[in-house]
Amino acid sequence: MLKKGTMDEATYPSSSVGVRRLEDWSLVRVGGDDAREWLNGQISNGIGEPAPGSCVRALVISSQGRVETELWVHDRGEDLVLALPKSSEAALLARFDRYIVMEDVDLESQNAEIISLQGPRAKEVVDLLDGHDEAWPCPRLHSAGFDWVVSKSEAAESLRRAVEAAASIGGGELTEADWELCRLRQGIPRFGKDFGLDTYPREVGLVESAVAFDKGCYVGQEAVVMLQHRGKPPRLLAHLRLEGGEIPGVGDTMLRDGRDAGTLTSVVADPRGGGWALGLMRRKLAEKGAELTLGEVNATVVSVVESEVRENQS
């Protein structure tokens, strides 16, 4: 059985604001006279003229069109700060260094951490903390949200202050289990779990939020464009509601009418009953409303990423 999140805490991002210290994320500064133009040639989304205080979600794509990492680009005007999973930092810096030839670009890991504030009242916490200079809009849980960047030496105290401010307006701190419950209730994929080096952006619904088709060239662009307009990915990410029996585990097989439909990538028990999961399903079997079985558990497909994209475009 998976560890359950706490129901009251896991509702903070929908009712008020939830606070979490993102110790599994890193920050990398990109500076130099050519930083903005050069970075545009490395990532899937566009960054235009300086817009201090803005934030853009993007991907780093391999030449074959697969995801090497996700990141958020925080614009400080004179330079840019990338927030990315810590597990990707070394590989990203090595790759970026290979693509700096004659450009004036500096890459520097930052001695800083992110305090993430997620929920409809997140801006109120930023105001209470007077943290506007180092807080960027960053909706990680599909609601309003901010990344508040603080020095590592001040991270513990900053977290305490943020939790205290959130509690004053009905919010509070999120544990890892709470965060997982929040994101899986909403069907939000996570790098390293639901997508990674073997997945295409379109398979897991990242095209809408992290890929621009009207920007200049970048590494991996040709493969992404071809799959978007000509191809059909073999798998699609499905959001599942689980009912009955013991909650299954990551890697378990999903069955539809006795046929292997794919594999679970994330799963969590819900204190309200049952559970939630994400899984990569075979394209031909992935359908909203489909009934699946996983051992003793019954599952219903709440949504399929590509069908959601089609609905949004219609």
pLDDT of residue 227: 86
Cβ neighbors of 135 (< 8 A, separation 6 or more) are 117, 126, 129, 146, 147, 148, 149
pLDDT of residue 38: 97
49 backbone φψ class: left, alpha, beta (φ>0; ψ -120 to 50): beta
Segments in the chain forming alpha helices (H): 7-10, 12-15, 35-40, 89-98, 122-129, 155-167, 176-186, 207-210, 221-229, 305-313
Q: Which residues pair with 18 in a beta bridge?
A: 118, 172
Pick the CATH number of 234-314 from 3.40.50.300, 2.40.30.110, 3.30.450.40, 3.30.420.40: 2.40.30.110
Question: Quick one: 7-181 is in which CATH superfamily?
Answer: Probable tRNA modification gtpase trme; domain 1 (3.30.1360.120)
Dist CA 276 CA 192 (whole Å):
18
pLDDT digits (tens, 9 = 90+) for 268-295: 999 989 999 999 999 999 999 999 999 8
Residues of the chain with pLDDT under 70: 1-8, 307-314
283 backbone φψ class: left, alpha, beta (φ>0; ψ -120 to 50): alpha
Q: Which ranges in the chain are annotated with CATH 3.30.1360.120?
A: 7-181
Q: How many other C-beta atoms are found inside a 10 Å radius of the C-beta of residue 277?
A: 28
300 class by beta-carbon count within 10 Å (0-12 exposed, 13-18 middle, 19+ buried): middle
Helix 122-129, helix 155-167: angle, nearest 10: 120
Is the CB of residue 59 less than 8 Å from the CB of residue 43?
yes
pLDDT of residue 8: 54
Q: Which ranges in the chain are annotated with CATH 2.40.30.110?
A: 234-314
